[in-house]
Structure 1
Amino acid sequence: MGQEGPRPEFLTVCRWEVPHRQEQWWPITSEYVQLLWLPILGPSCIVLLQRLDLLIGEAKQVRTSTEELARSLGLGHTPHRGSLLDRSIDRCCDFRVLRELIPGLIEVPRELPPLSSRQLKRLPESLQVVAHAQPELQRYRNETERRGRLHQLTATLANLGATDDEISDQLLRLGYPPERSTASSRAYPVTSG
């Protein structure tokens, strides 16, 4: 941001509701941010974003001391401009993943955008492969979660005393294909909890 002098002793953190287009944006705590934004922003910026996201939660705004925030991130605290916390905030603002409206008033988004093609080219080759496979990973994750729900529903119905045919009928009504509507998951009953 290029401001002169130290930041105020206290920061006010608000939510930045960023309107975005059709593309998928990624929660600050997601694997995408951890794997792909980290080499672009650096670890202190990622940890700062995650901490601010956690601090704000669902509140309209929170207030935190710069000393407390810096020390909680392992950045130490120095009251002069150019501290590690200041540099991390400035870097996040430079990359437009944080906004500092006035000195000490910071907005943090819930999600970060996908990396630009220029940013993707800066990644190590192994991470470029991960970035290009991300939609496939998402589909795999969705299918894995769906299978987990199928397993839990099947086991719950079996624990309630439903027959194999009743379980199959119920799962079919819920949109699960018949070939997966078997009572084979009775071997893994769901415990109450």
Structure 2
Amino acid sequence: MSATRPPLADATLQIRPWADPVIDEMGHDLRSHYVERFWLGILGPSTTLLLRRIALGFDAEPDGFTLHLGDTARSLGLGARAGKHSPFVRALDRCCQFGAARRHGDQLDVRRRLPPLTRFHVSRLPEPLQAEHDDWVARSSATPTPADAHRRARRLALGLLELGEDHDEVERQLHLWRVHPAMAHEALRWATAHLAHDAA
């Protein structure tokens, strides 16, 4: 991240909210129990703490704010060393690597909410956490109305496509989240058409 290569004490990033109607509706607050319990093992503690700090910044300034990198790095206990191998720069990089943020020069768009973990990410958790996540998914999807289930399937399919999953993986993930195969197929068709319309 070239903008952080000068001394961090002198560097800033413009933080802006990443508006995503799907993830904003069905995702999890950056400070939620879900993120702390399940995303922490994927993002790592430094990145999770950084996202929590940014969420606090959005509370105070919803349209965005200037992040002073040196001060933030020291306040998180990461030091103010510059360079691509510094702990703070790696935390910023991981925000983008896992889809929590995207970089535009000296601006970082950050999600206000994180999506549910994909099947691949769940498989990287310790087995007890995988089982706990399965239980969480089962509880959260218990007895929805047909209309709710339909809308949820479409939102999940769209979110997975936007995260870069291919069509087969989207359907597999929806099945793991206990979406009926016919509904999963329809949701994928809808999400694909929705993205194509937006691109056009």
What is the aligned partner in structure 2 of residue 26 from structure 1? Answer: 28
Q: What is the CA distance between 1:82 and its match in structure 2?
A: 2.8
1:14-52 Cα deviation digits (max 9, x unpaired): 111123279831111111110111111110010011111
Q: Higher Cα Rg: structure 1 or 2?
A: 1
Could you say if the C-alpha distance between residues 92 and 21 of structure 1 is closer, same or farther in structure 2, counting changes exceeding 3 Å? closer
Separation in 2, partners of 1:69, 1:131: 32
SS state at 1:99 partner: strand
Task: For 1:89-108, list aligned pairs within 5 A.
Answer: 89-102=92-105, 104-108=106-110
TM-score (normalised: structure 1): 0.64
Q: Is the 8 A contact 2:23 2:113 kept in 1?
A: no
Aligned length: 138
- Deviations along 1:105-164, one digit per CA (max 9) or x if unpaired, are 111111101111011111111101111111455589xxxxxxxxxxxxxxxxxxxxxxxx
Report the CA distance shift for 1:47/1:122 in structure 2 as closer, same or farther (over 3 A). Answer: same
1:65 aligns with 2:68: yes
Aligned 8 A contact 1:4 1:81 in 2: no
**Which contiguous aligned blocks of 4+ residues in structure 1 show a shift greater than 6 angstroms?**
none
Greater share of helix: 2
Cα-Cα RMSD? 2.5
CA pair 23-116 structure 1, distance change in 2 beyond 3 A: farther
Runs of at least 5 residues in structure 1 that lack an aligned partner in the other structure: 141-193
Identity of aligned residues (%): 33
Taking the aligned partners of 1:81 and 1:23, their CA distance within structure 2 comes to 34
